[in-house]
Structure 1
Amino acid sequence: MVNVVIAKRNPFDRNHYQLFPKASLICSFACALAACTVPETEPEKVWRHAEEAAFAADISPDGRFAVVSSLMHGINVWQYGKAEPIYQWSHQGAGNNVVVSVHISADNQFVATSDREAFALWSMQRGEPVGFWRIDESSVRDIAVANEGKGILVGRSNGKVMYFEPMTGRRIEFLGHQEKVNSVDISPNGRFALSGGNDYVAYLWSTDTGQIIHTFTHPSRVTLVALDDQGRYVFTADSQQKSQIWNAQTGAPISNLQYIARQKIFTDAVFSKDGERLLTGAPSRRVYEWNVKTGEQINEWKVAPRANMSPPSAVVYGVGYIDENLIMTESSSGLAELWSRTND
C-alpha cells in the first residue's frame, strides 16, 4: 500500500529537473448541469482578477488572499481589497500558462501549483519559488500543500497519491486507489491526507505511514474531497447524488447534503471556522452554503458568467469566508466577487 523513497537531489534547486511522476490537468468541471432556475444575485463588490478566462483559483481559509491562474497572465496573487496583484508568477518560463491546480496553505505562507507535467512550491512571504519538480509517470489531477510548506500532496491519473517533503526529499506513494485520483486535501500539519477517485472511494490516511485511517464509500466516482482545517470534519462528494459530511475522528457520517437534483458536482468546499457551515462552489455558477449538522441548504448565490458565453456559464473555482457575514468567490469568468450572507 505504500512506497517510501528518499530523493537525492536538493529540492530547493530552482531549475526544472526530473523527479518522479508527472503533473496533470485537474478534472475540468466545465459542463453545465441542469438545475432549477436561480434568481440573479448581486455581489457587494467585484474585482477583475483575470482579463480572460481563469484556469484555476484558490482562496485562503481566512479570505485574505486569492491565487488565480489564467492563460496570458500566468499566476497572480491577490490580497483582499487590493486593485493590483502583489505577485505575478510564471510556472514554466515563456509561453502560455497551463497551470490548472492551485492550493494555498492554511497558514497563508505557501502556495502549490501544478500543470500537466510539473508542480511548484512558492513562498508567500518572499514571493519567490521554493522549487519546481517535473513528473515522469502519469499526470497530476490535484495538489495540496501543508503549513510551512512542509509537505505537498499530489494526486495522479494512475491512481497513486504522492506525499513529498521539499525540505527533506522524503516521499511516500499511497497505492490505495484502483483508478485515477480526482481530488486531494491535506491537514494543516501535513500528517493526514484525504484523497478521492474514480474507484468510488475516498480515503483518509497517514502521511507518516501511508496507512488508511478511514474509508468513505460512494455509489459513483468521487469528484471532490475536503478536510476541515480544525480536524473535525471530512467532506466527500461524488458525480451523482451523494455529498457527505463525516466525523474526521470516527469516520461516522454526520449529514448528507439535501438537494433534489439527480446530479450535482462541486468544485470547491470549505468549512466555516465555527464548524457550523459548509461553503461549496459548483460548475454551474452556483455557490451554496449548508448546515453541517443537518445537511440543509442555508444560502445560495450565482456568480457572473464569462463574457460572450452562450448560454451564460462559469465554473466556481474558489470559495472562502471573509468573516461571519461575507464570503468571497473566484470563478472562470476571471472575477472575484464579494457576497453578503443572510441569517441562518
Structure 2
Amino acid sequence: MKHLLSLSLVFLLFACDVYSNKPVNYFQHAESGSLATAFSDDAAIGIVSSNDEGIVVWDLQYNQKIYQWNHQGQDDNANVIGLVNISPDKSHAVTADREAFAIWDLNTGEPIGFWRIDESSVRDIAVSNGGNGILVGRGNGKVLYFEHRTGRRIEFLGHQERINSVALSPNGLYALTGGNDYTAFLWNTKTGQIVYKFEHPSRVTKVVLDNQGRFAFTADSQKHARIWDLQTGQEISRLKYIQRQKIFSAARFSEDGTQLLTGSPDRHLTLWDVQSGAKIQDWKVHPNEKSLTKSAVVYAVAFMEDNQVISGSSSGWAEVWTVEED
C-alpha cells in the first residue's frame, strides 16, 4: 500500500508539471541570443536587444524589422542594452544599460533623448503613455520618476536596499517598485506618498501592474508570488506551484483581468487564474542551442487574439502558443 501511495504521489506531482512544447509559430530575432525583449500589450510590436544587431523594433504580425537603434557611443558589436520597455499605448519605448537610458518615439523611430545615471546603476525601467513619465529603479534603492518634457523629477526613498523591478501605470500616476528589502510599494508619482505596502518573506524580484488599475503582481525569490486587489490593498490569491524556489522574469495580466501570464528563467511560460492562483497551462520555450546548459530566460510575454500567447526569450526566439480551451 505504501508503494502504491508513493507512486500515486509521484504521478500527481509529475502531472501537475506537464507542459506543451510545440509552438504554433516561431521567429528567430537574434541568432546568437538576446539581451532583452519587450512586447506591446497587444503583441503587435516587439523590441529585441542583441549583440547581433543592436536594438531592433519588430512588427510581430508580419515578422518585419521596423527600426534599428543604438545608444550614443555604441555600435552593433558593443551593445550592452539589457532593459527595454514599451508604453501601453505603443507610442514610445525606453532602452537602458546600467549607466544610461534613452527614450524613443515609436511613430517615427527617432530618439527623444539620452540621460546618464551617475549615482547608481539602472536596475529596471518603465514608461507611461505618450512617453510622458519614465520610472528608473536603481541599485542604491532609490527610484527616479522623470518627466522629460517638463523636467519634473521626484525620487522615491521608501526602499532600504537595491531595486529589482519597477512598473508604471499607463497614466504615469502610480508606480509599483520591489527590492531586496523584502518589500513592494505602490506609490503616487506626484507626491511620493505610499498607497500600499506589500511585504514578502524574501527579496522582491518581480512586480507588475494591471493596466486597468485592478491588480498588482509581486513575487519574491522563494515561494511567494501574490496577486493584490488595488482597490483594497488585500491579497486576492497566491500562485500555486510545487517548486521551493521560483523566479519570475516576465508577467502580464490579460485585458479582461481573469488571467496572468508569466515567464521564468527556467524556460517556463505559464498561464494562471487570477482569482484562485491555479495553474491553467504551462509551456517550455526554445532553449539557446549555443548555451552549454541549453537554457533560456523568458524576457517578455503577451496575450494575442485567437486564444494564443507569445513569448520572447534569451534564446532569441519569439514563439506563439495556443491556449487549450476547457
User: Which of the five TM-score ranges fits, normalised by the shorter chain?
Assistant: over 0.9
Q: Please list the CA deviations of residues 69-126 of structure 1 after superposition, one character each: whole Å capped at 9, or x if unmatched.
A: 0013111001123233100000133331111011100000000111011001000000
Partner residue of 1:251 out of 208, 211, 233: 233
Tell me how far apart the structure 1 counterparts of residues 74 and 293 of structure 2 sit (CA, whole Å).
33
- Determine whether 1:94 maps to 2:74: yes
Tell me how far apart the structure 1 counterparts of residues 124 and 161 of structure 2 sit (CA, whole Å).
14
Match in the other structure for 1:79: 59
Q: CA deviation at 1:323?
A: 2.0
Q: CA deviation at 1:38?
A: 5.0
Q: Secondary structure at the match of 1:265?
A: coil
- Determine whether 1:267 maps to 2:235: no
Match in the other structure for 2:3: none
Match in the other structure for 1:30: none
- Determine whether 1:121 maps to 2:103: yes
- Map 1:270-289 → 2, pairs under 5 A: 270-289=252-271
Match in the other structure for 2:10: none
Q: Secondary structure at the match of 1:203?
A: strand
Q: CA RMSD in A?
A: 1.3
- Determine whether 1:156 maps to 2:142: no
Report the AA paired with residue 93 of structure 1: G
Match in the other structure for 2:24: 44
Partner residue of 1:63 out of 43, 55, 68: 43
Does structure 2 retain, via aligned residues, the 8 Å contact 1:38–1:302? no
Q: Secondary structure at the match of 1:43?
A: coil
Deviates more, 1:77-86 or 1:209-218: 77-86
Tell me how far apart the structure 1 counterparts of residues 292 and 166 of structure 2 sit (CA, whole Å).
32
Match in the other structure for 2:311: 329
Tell me how far apart the structure 2 counterparts of residues 236 and 324 of structure 1 sit (CA, whole Å).
28
- Determine whether 1:147 maps to 2:129: yes
Q: What is the TM-score of this pair, normalised by structure 2?
A: 0.93
Match in the other structure for 1:316: 298
Match in the other structure for 2:7: none
Deviates more, 1:88-97 or 1:316-325: 88-97
Q: Please list the CA deviations of residues 276-332 of structure 1 after superposition, one character each: whole Å capped at 9, or x if unmatched.
A: 000000000000000000000001011000023233210000000012501111000
Match in the other structure for 1:202: 184
Deviates more, 1:146-155 or 1:86-95: 86-95
Tell me how far apart the structure 2 counterparts of residues 121 and 224 of structure 1 sit (CA, whole Å).
23
Tell me how far apart the structure 1 counterparts of residues 217 and 74 of structure 2 sit (CA, whole Å).
38
Q: Which runs of 5+ in 1 are unaligned?
A: 1-34
Say how many residue pairs are matched. 310
Q: Secondary structure at the match of 2:22?
A: coil
Partner residue of 1:130 out of 91, 112, 117: 112
Q: What is the TM-score of this pair, normalised by structure 1?
A: 0.88
Does structure 1 retain, via aligned residues, the 8 Å contact 2:249–2:262? yes
Q: Please list the CA deviations of residues 247-277 of structure 1 after superposition, one character each: whole Å capped at 9, or x if unmatched.
A: 0121100000001110000001000000000
Q: CA deviation at 1:40?
A: 5.5
Tell me how far apart the structure 2 counterparts of residues 320 and 40 of structure 1 sit (CA, whole Å).
17
Does structure 2 retain, via aligned residues, the 8 Å contact 1:183–1:196? yes
Does structure 2 retain, via aligned residues, the 8 Å contact 1:78–1:84? yes
Q: Secondary structure at the match of 1:189?
A: coil
Q: What percent of counterpart residues are identical?
A: 55
Tell me how far apart the structure 2 counterparts of residues 210 and 146 of structure 1 sit (CA, whole Å).
17
Q: CA deviation at 1:205?
A: 0.1
Where has structure 1 moved over 3 Å in runs of 4 or more? 35-40
Report the AA paired with residue 45 of structure 2: F
Q: Please list the CA deviations of residues 117-142 of structure 1 after superposition, one character each: whole Å capped at 9, or x if unmatched.
A: 10010000001101100111011000
Q: Secondary structure at the match of 1:148?
A: helix
Partner residue of 2:209 out of 227, 236, 243: 227
Tell me how far apart the structure 2 counterparts of residues 141 and 39 of structure 1 sit (CA, whole Å).
32
Tell me how far apart the structure 2 counterparts of residues 93 and 47 of structure 1 sit (CA, whole Å).
30
Tell me how far apart the structure 2 counterparts of residues 334 and 49 of structure 1 sit (CA, whole Å).
5
Q: Secondary structure at the match of 1:205?
A: strand
Quick check: which one's helix share is greater?
Answer: 2
Structure ID, larger Rg: 2
